[in-house]
Chain A
Amino acid sequence: MTPTAATPAVSADTTDDTVPAVRLDHVSKEFNGSHAVRDLDLEIAPGEFFSLLGPSGCGKTTTLRMIGGFADPTEGAVLLSGEDVTALPPNRRNVNTVFQSYALFDHLSVADNIAFGLKRKGVPKPEIGERVGAMIDLVQLGGMAERKPRTLSGGQRQRVALARALVNRPAVLLLDEPLAALDLKLRRQMQVELKQIQREVGITFVFVTHDQDEALTMSDRVAVMNGGRVEQCGTPEDVYERPESRFVAAFMGTSNLVSGVYRDGAVQLEGGPALPVGPRPGVGEGSVVDLSIRPEKIWLSDFEPGMPVVNGVIRETVYSGPTTTYLIELAPGVTVAALEQNTARARMEDRWEGGETVELGYDPDHCLVLGH
């Protein structure tokens, strides 16, 4: 007999770790007939640092707003900890948002800004004082409690926005490009801090960004979005090392893209060598394909046994401190970039000069073959 224990499709048990903190069930959003988000299916686990990454207009902010309750999905359902909240307004969802503009209340002090959510919930006064104090310490704003937001620097305002959301202990914290307005140095520092805070409080973070470095360094998982769809969802390593589409390969850092004809497990360049890539099911014999490989995945020496090696001519040497990039011509008009680390073992005099013929090695697993 087969056990017939019917698993409820929707469980309201919030303590269960197997219930995703956020679930988007075939969610679509239309604005005036055009889709901002199309048929999105996502599950975000409790305690996860999850990033929505993509260029502007890819639908990542709309997705975030639908989780927060600021935009209604045209189709589909939004579930928080298993509970369908699609019809609930923002003030009745157990999520809080850090807005891109911080959206601080300028007429209130830092402490009153942070206490705003707790007061709405009717938390007793002594507890509010305690929690606000603890939060001010957590985001390192000691001594600023009575200041008005306008007298603070950008980084400090950002911390107030974060504290104001976190103090409510939401099940999920939504962050809409919270670091975009900060300068590069401060941004790097806040990235580390944000990640530390997230580990400390153990709250699920859903982080929207267009900066791939940011997404890679901070996230447990990344969803790369384009045109209202998720192109690929996985760990930072997955989406960077094993991009599944041309868009992901191009958006996540730089990639070489060369065209050729796929035949016998290799990509034949016109007027040049054939690049072995191994068997590729789903790619038709004789079809025109693009081969994509990252510059740092091309070897110029110390090849491993069995590795495909082809010849090329150095056209340009670009030295940029810790790395050197070589532009190498494989066939007439077909140039790839190869990145070499300038480590202690690499001697300057060993660098290749323009016009020299070199050997290039690579691992076929690092190649992405995309049919046209």
Chain B
Amino acid sequence: MVVLFSFNAQKSLTVFKGFSLRWYEAFFHDNVLLGSLGMSLEVSLVAMAGSVVLGVALALGLVRNKGRLGTYAGLIMMVPLITPEIVTGVASLLLFKGLGITLNTGTVMIAEITFSISYVTVILRSRVAALNPEVEEAAMDLGATRWQALRLVTLPALLPAILASAVLIFALVFDDFVLAYFTTGVDPQPLAVRIYSAIRFGVEPTINAVGTLMLAGSITLIGLALAIPRLFGRRGGLDLISGE
């Protein structure tokens, strides 16, 4: 319905009066919505980069540190996954308020990264555990330093899983509403939050256009996430995110 009526020539949300791209045009001239889109993209990209770097490091650390510390860290890592998102949202809000931090784009980024690390780690952890430890030893045996072995051998082996989780995180954060709602400042607001506010004052067909674009974007990303491992000629690894 949303897709259909986004192409409606009239403002009506119930009667289709012919094909038109006027709502898309309206969207691209709406500076507030465009600002929100820009912010959402910014937040998603930063959250993606941040959570992938930290998540991969955490996955490597967890798999290789079999001690007590690793076990506890692994358990704590699971907490964001099982906590209802609204709890995480409220908790983040209280934390920022308690620390006297003004809510802005930065606070959304921090909250989203915190939330996303777990996903990256869960996806990467099994991949890291499946790596043959002799491969990294072989690299060092052939003259690589520890860091070179990681960069030249381990990370390339993990690349499909890293890219898939990056795409997933981008899509999750971009579409995220709850966490963004609690941690965003007044202006600009992430797209999802902006849409929610807009709907409260009556649905504009522009929102349909935005929704359609977001849907198309998400489908493309999920398709990409599914295709990446195929491109690398690898099966499995995606079972974890196919439910998204």
Residues in chain A within 8 A of chain B (CB atoms): 68-70, 89-91, 95-97, 99-101, 103-107, 116-117, 120-121, 150, 164-165, 168
Contact = CB atoms under 8 A, between A and B. Distances in A.
B186 interface: no
A120 B144 CA distance: 6
Contacts of A104: 135, 138
B129 to A, nearest CB: 15
A116 B139 contact: yes
Contacts of B153: 105
B138 A120 contact: no
Contact of B137 (A99, A105, A120, A150): A99
Interface footprint category on B: 10 to 19
B163 to A, nearest CB: 13
B141 interface: yes
B134 A105 contact: no
Contacts of B75: none
B65 interface: no
A99 B157 contact: no
A96 B142 contact: yes
B182 to A, nearest CB: 41
Contacts of B138: 97, 99, 103-105, 164
A164 B142 contact: yes
Interface string B135-149: 101111111110010
B212 to A, nearest CB: 38
Interface string B119-142: 000000000000010110111111
Contacts of A116: 139, 142, 144, 152
B145 A103 contact: no
B159 interface: yes
B134 A91 contact: no
B156 interface: yes
B134 A121 contact: no
A90 B141 contact: yes
A99 B143 contact: no
B135 A120 contact: no
Given A100-B134, A106-B157, A168-B143, 8 more contacts: A91-B142, A91-B143, A103-B134, A103-B137, A116-B142, A116-B144, A165-B141, A165-B142
